Structure formats: structure tokens, C-alpha cells
Amino acid sequence: MTTPPPYGTPGQDPYGQQPGHDPYGQQPGYGYGTPQPSYGTPPPGYGTPPPGYGTPPPEYGQPVGGYGYPPAPGGFGPPPGGAPIPNYLWQSIVVTLLCCLPAGIVAIVFSSRVQSRQAMGDIQGALDASRKAKTWCIVSAAAAVAVWIIYLIFWIAIAGAALND
């Protein structure tokens, strides 16, 4: 009696696959075995742009200018008087936790937009978001005061009705 070879029959993969067979069904010449194209050389036909298609960007240390639109007049630039734009974020969080949750969430949304719009250069949008955040903080606080007044009137009416009986 002969002992079988340790890895199956000769010429066969130990895992049951035939040599040269791709288990993923790819065609020969495609996939991981083929060399990738070189990315160092551009394809033919590309070169310097023809004249009139704009100037190339300046090199490091050279002054910028010569192309692009000038800044739009009005609406953009630093805030009036150089003062930072208030975002009312901490006030929005306080009124959300202590006063009216829905109006406080709206205030937080608008207060979070102030800084991002200011960073983008949209000063008018940042001022508008700041105004809306302040308005919703006031609405939330006023709603809480109104609820507490109604609550107090309710308990005074119950106490008055209990004393009259």
C-alpha cells in the first residue's frame, strides 16, 4: 500500500483549483497581474494653453493680480465698526434647556450658522442669522414666561375654588 502525497495529486492546487484558473472569473491579461499605466507622462495633445486663455497662477512670493473679478461692492467685508458678529450660541443653549425646547432648537440652528457664514465672507448672511438667533431666543424665553403665568393663574384659580367651598 502506498501513501498518498501530502498535498493531493501532482499538478493540482492543494485547495482543489486547477493551475492557471482564476477563481474570480477574470480574463487573462486583466487584473492584478498586468502592469499599470504610467501616470508621469501626459497623453499627447496636451501642452501649454493657447494665448488668451488666462494667465497662469503666480509663483510663490510673486504678487497676485491680473485676472478674476474685483470684490463685489457692499454686502461683503468686515462687520460694521469692526465689531465681531454675536452668534447667541450660549443663550440659545440656555433657553433650549430651561425654556422652550422647539424654539430653542431653532435658535441653536441659526446661531450655528453665524460663524460659518462669516468665515465664508457672507457678512450679510451672518448678520441675518445672528438677528434670527436673537429673535428665537426671545421667543423661547417669552414662551416660557407665558407658560409659567398660565400655570400660576391655574393654581391660583384652583386654590380660590378650594377656599370658596
Structural domain includes residue 144? yes
User: Using CA atoms, how far apart are residues 95 and 82, in angstroms rounded to an integer?
Assistant: 28
159: number of CA atoms within 13 Å, CB side? 6
User: Using CA atoms, how far apart are residues 12 and 130, in angstroms rounded to an integer?
Assistant: 74
Q: Which of 132, 129, 123, 118 is nearest to 75 (CA)?
A: 123
What is the phi/psi pair of residue 145, to 5°? -60, -45
Structural domain includes residue 91? yes
pLDDT digits (tens, 9 = 90+) for 99-151: 989 999 999 999 999 999 998 889 999 999 999 999 999 999 999 999 999 99
Structural domain includes residue 143? yes
Structural domain includes residue 73? no
Structural domain includes residue 137? yes
The grid cell for 17 is: 483549483
User: Using CA atoms, how far apart are residues 78 and 25, in angstroms rounded to an integer?
Assistant: 62
Number of domains in the chain: 1
Q: What is the mean pLDDT of residues 18-38?
A: 56
pLDDT digits (tens, 9 = 90+) for 49-87: 566 666 655 666 655 555 455 555 555 555 555 678 999
Structural domain includes residue 65? no
Structural domain includes residue 20? no
| pTM for this model (two decimals) | 0.49
Q: What is the mean pLDDT of residues 23-49?
A: 57
Find the length of the chain.
165
The boundaries of the domain holding residue 108 are: 86-164
